Structure 1
Amino acid sequence: MSTPAPASVLAPKPHYAALDGLRGVAAVMVVLFHMFEGSARDFQFHTDQIINHGYLSVDFFFMLSGFVIGYAYDDRWEKMNLWNFCKRRLVRLQPMVVMGMLLGGILFYFQGSEIFPNLAQTPVWKMLLVMTVGFTLLPVPVSLDVRGWSEMHPLNGPAWSLFFEYVANILYAMLIRKFTSRWLAVLVFLAGCALIHQCYTQGNNIGGWTLDAEQCRVGLTRLMFPFFGGLLLFRLCKPGRIRHGFWWCSLLLAGTLAAPHVGGAEHFRLNGLYDAFCIIVIFPVIVFLGASDIPGDISSRASRFLGNISYPLYIIHYPIVYLYLAWVHDAEVPLSRALPVAAGVLFLCIAVAYGCLKLYDEPVRAWLSKRVLKRRPPEPGA
């Protein structure tokens, strides 16, 4: 039995630039979704939420990740072992996890508001404990919920999806990479049935960020179909050649995420069927068309910028958005007056994300790549 080659022999592969850019489009949409939550009033059915289906950005991220993981690693396991794979993924993802938690800790006590019921009574030592645990991405129990929203990462809520991303990576590396395409299709079919049931029952595909049995089930159901569906899509579908694919896919993705609530409160299950249709049908089409894009000069530059900031933007935006949500709530600011501030918050999030990318993430990953992987810095989008 031959010994797997060191990680240094695994040279970066060319990128699907449009897919990187689409990740950035989804990241911008989820920032807008989280900001507009502050102006919503229907907390049961979310019928009045602007960018109503922005939460599906997470499901789109999962599908993109499955596709890209298959492309980056499916043919490399003769040259790579499990530990090599884990090191590569940790180098890619973990530095910004630390930065997101650090930013959440720094801004925590500035977010004082009635909408965060546990914040004012949280001692510094407890916040620091939650932040330290958050650096590892391990979820914290409800007893350590320092915010009051039952988040498994209360300093930086969206980190829950990174936790499930790690779960998917481990499942892929330890077991599912060995599945034939036929068995993978069976898994994806069963995961799709579970997803449809969840969406129909809830009336949406929201949830997964609380460390209890029910919400962990929701999170796993959200994860399994899109991630491994993306892997199956990579294995079965050879991308074509489509001009302006990035722009068409961006419009389709933004329109899908911005669509209003379907069915209203009386027929809320129709909204769940819409969510399931987006994840099972529309998202694979977008990923396939994006992988088929023939890049032009402008689209390449746009894709490169959006792709580079997509992960930093997603993982650092919520500590800043918490401040905005507290202001909107405490001052009872109407949406018309909040819009200019929301635009400024979006710009600030993008600026902070870009600064973190250039001043922290890229230098740290370059250093870790030399020390841990013994090679050049990892490809930015994998």
Structure 2
Amino acid sequence: MNQSSNKHYEILDGLRGVAAIIVVAFHILEAFALGKHKEQIINHGYLAVDFFFVLSGFVIGIAYNNRWDKMTLGGFFKRRIIRLQPMVIIGSILGAATYYFQASPTLFPIIENTPVTKMLLVMVIGFTMLPVGKSLDIRGWGEMYPLNGPGWTLFFEYIAYALYAFVLRKLSNKALMLLTFIAGCALIQFTVTTPQGGVAGGWSLDPEQLRIGFTRLLYPFLSGLLLSRIMKPTFIKNAFLLSSILMFVVLALPRLGGDTNWINGLYEGLVILIVFPLLVYIGANGEIKSEKAKKVAKFLGDISYPVYITHYAFIYVFTAWVVDNVATGKTSYEVAAVWGVVTFVVSIAVAYIAVKFYDEPVRKWCAKKWLK
């Protein structure tokens, strides 16, 4: 498919924003579930990560497949760093600024005894996207980015970029299809055999979590990249509305199968295998004609990455408060729900302010300085 690298996919921007907002809502509601899968509202919200990987593969393919005769490896990585790193730094700073407000005797007892110097060291390491191990786990959750948990997806995103730049872009369509098929088989095998009954995980450096992370990365990214090569353009009416509704339905569906984990795992595997590439296909072949809808899609696209990479600092604070107060009966669910709405609004507002007054200016300056 010889799509122009200059074509802008408004619907895909909007869909990325829809998925990011669902992630924020999922994490707020997760505080009330207290780790009980069946009680989690927007039960499969974490699958938005797998959609992001599909979308990333597609967008990278569209943007760069036809540019390698004029672009070096260094130029490619500079562009990706400029796109991602400014908000990575803000996410780490927010995590550090709110860290001691997250202290909870029940959930995060380690925080009160963590020296400021150690916390600041983790913050600075977080700027670089280098993951940390157990010795610098200042939260107790085993996260490779203890101040900003969702950073683990960026860790795998950068791995995907390296695979693309050094290997995948050079493969024929047939070879890429074969790799995608193998990765799809590995995905289904994992989802139907794992005792947890799903793909949630990937945020730690231990072997089990790394396996989950690579399983969640490979098929989605490869399928998106393959789609960027073989998709035949068509026109799908009401694509933004249709894809947004489908996105919400598959992420909000309650956990399936009761105590039979493989049923829920199979569902998640099929969503990643079929539904997410379909969503990208629908979004890439639609058009937004309403000016209001265009503004909505642009707003969602603008805040999508910023809200995803900054919101968890506030989620840590909110979750710690819920566990210490609602679970113990000190505060009612109604009061907690109000603070949940506040947390949601603050997350969106901070992301919008960050992108308009920091991310966009910084990226513009970096591009002017470092890119020809």
Aligned AA (1:308): D
Deviations 1:26-50, CA, capped at 9 Å, x for gaps:
000111111111111454xx12111
Gaps of 5+ in 2: none
1:361 aligns with 2:359: yes
Q: Indicate the residue corresponding to 2:342 in structure 1.
A: 344
Contact in 1 for aligned 2:142/2:204 (Cα 8 Å): yes
Contact in 2 for aligned 1:239/1:288 (Cα 8 Å): no
Shift in Å, 1:12:
6.8
Shift in Å, 1:346:
0.8
Q: Indicate the residue corresponding to 2:212 in structure 1.
A: 218
Deviations 1:91-114, CA, capped at 9 Å, x for gaps:
001100011001101110111112
RMSD over aligned Cα atoms: 1.2
Contact in 1 for aligned 2:5/2:66 (Cα 8 Å): no
1:249 aligns with 2:243: yes
Q: Indicate the residue corresponding to 2:262 in structure 1.
A: 269
Give the whole-Å Cα distance in 2 for the aligned partners of 1:185 and 1:325. 42
Q: From the superposition, tell whether residues 233 and 126 of structure 1 become closer, same or farther in structure 2 (CA, over 3 Å).
A: same
Shift in Å, 1:14:
2.4
Contact in 2 for aligned 1:27/1:310 (Cα 8 Å): yes
Shift in Å, 1:345:
1.1
Contact in 2 for aligned 1:142/1:210 (Cα 8 Å): no
Map 1:186-225 to 2 at 5 A.
186-202=178-194, 203-225=197-219
3-state SS of 1:240 partner: coil
Q: Indicate the residue corresponding to 1:183 in structure 2.
A: 175
Shift in Å, 1:240:
1.4
Aligned AA (1:56): L
Q: Indicate the residue corresponding to 2:80 in structure 1.
A: 89
Shift in Å, 1:281:
0.8
Q: Indicate the residue corresponding to 2:66 in structure 1.
A: 75
Gaps of 5+ in 1: 1-10, 375-382
Give the whole-Å Cα distance in 2 for the aligned partners of 1:222 and 1:25. 20
Give the whole-Å Cα distance in 1 for the aligned partners of 2:43 and 2:159. 27
Deviations 1:125-171, CA, capped at 9 Å, x for gaps:
11011111100001000111000111000000000000100000010
Aligned AA (1:349): S
1:51 aligns with 2:45: no
Shift in Å, 1:349:
0.5
Shift in Å, 1:13:
1.2
Q: Indicate the residue corresponding to 1:380 in structure 2.
A: none
Aligned residue pair count: 361
Q: From the superposition, tell whether residues 42 and 347 of structure 1 become closer, same or farther in structure 2 (CA, over 3 Å).
A: closer
Give the whole-Å Cα distance in 1 for the aligned partners of 2:356 and 2:263. 43
Give the whole-Å Cα distance in 2 for the aligned partners of 1:237 and 1:369. 30
Q: Indicate the residue corresponding to 1:377 in structure 2.
A: none
1:127 aligns with 2:119: yes
Q: From the superposition, tell whether residues 87 and 42 of structure 1 become closer, same or farther in structure 2 (CA, over 3 Å).
A: closer
Task: Tell me which stretches of 4 or more aligned residues in structure 1 moved more than 4 Å.
Answer: none
Identity of aligned residues (%): 52
Contact in 1 for aligned 2:193/2:262 (Cα 8 Å): yes
2:92 is aligned, of 81, 89, 101, to 101
Contact in 2 for aligned 1:243/1:295 (Cα 8 Å): no
